[in-house]
A and B are shown apart, each in its own frame.
Chain A
Amino acid sequence: MTMVALAYGFIWLAVFGYVFTVGRRLGRLNDELDDLRRRMDRVKT
């Protein structure tokens, strides 16, 4: 039972961990986009 729980637990943890890290990268991209938007506004004016 322990081995099965460990194996399934690890796989779920790894998949959710990966989704979390990609989500963080997405957050950073949104920050970069905001920064670009501000720079673009400055250039346009």
Chain B
Amino acid sequence: MTIPPALSLPTMPTAPAPTSTRFLAACGGAFLLLFLACLAVAEAPLESVMGLVQKIFYFHVPCAWLLMLSTFVCAGGSIAYLFRGSERGDRIALSAAELGVLFGMCVLVSGPLWAKAAWGVYWQWEARLTSSLLLWLMLVAYVLARRYGGPSARQLAAALALFAAVDIPLVYFSVRFFRSIHPQTTVVSTLGPGMRSAFWLSLLSFTVLWFVLMSLRLAVENAQARIVELEVLLDQAEEKKS
């Protein structure tokens, strides 16, 4: 049986990219950096007012930064999908949205634990906390729409990602424009030398981890798309054969 040129079978991918040695090395490097960040956080001096509980800050803020980065990337991919029909943009958006849900969850759990010790309550319905919760819920809605909404939900989810991106300035500037008990955005510049190095190392290691996780998730998404393409071609070839 000769397969017609239009249905000639493409080369089979040997294995999805994430299993490669390079990826495993990147993953190991990211976790090593995180481990070093943990050591730096442990060595950082205690804050005079809050004491030990202030150390939540070193992981809480990088998670919040990654929530915003994920939302930006998700919105960028969604714009490429909505206005240029880019499938790759759509896959990037979905991968970033998942990471946004992950790091948003970390922010919304670590923040209230810190708040309980610092403010005496887990939650306050004030601008920073409420807008952050709203941002996270929009990303959750994006992921749920993509998972259970079928192919027609892709455009709806992309539009949702744009709304989520609009919420980012509100989250960031809310502590300036509204009365808020949340620390100001200028808090990093007030840190002592030992605290500052631990914070920047933590931020760097979380950002590296984000890039590693993003490349892993994106590679899975790309492999999935390639498999779907191959299945369609194989179905056509099998029909021709029979």
A positions within 8 Å CB-CB of B? 1, 3-4, 6-8, 10-11, 14-15, 18-19, 22, 25-26, 29-30, 32-33, 36-37, 39-40, 42-45
Contact = CB atoms under 8 A, between A and B. Distances in A.
Interface of B: 1, 3, 9, 12-13, 15-16, 18-19, 27, 38, 52-53, 55-56, 59-60, 63, 98, 102, 105-106, 109-110, 113-114, 116-117, 209, 213, 216-217, 220, 223-224, 227, 230-231, 234, 237-238, 241
Contacts, number: 91
If over half of B's interface residues share one DSSP class (helix, strand or loop), that class is named, otherwise mixed; here it is helix
B204 to A, nearest CB: 16
CB-based closest 3 A-B pairs: A7-B110, A3-B113, A7-B56
A29 B110 contact: no
Contact of B227 (A7, A11, A36): A36
B106 A10 contact: yes
Given A8-B59, A18-B213, A26-B19, A3 B116 contact: yes
A43 B113 contact: no
Contacts of B13: 33
Contact of A7 (B15, B18, B19, B109): B109
Contacts of A15: 102, 106, 209, 213
If over half of A's interface residues share one DSSP class (helix, strand or loop), that class is named, otherwise mixed; here it is helix
Contacts of B237: 43
A22 B216 contact: yes
Nearest to B53: A3
B12 A40 contact: yes
Contacts of A8: 38, 56, 59
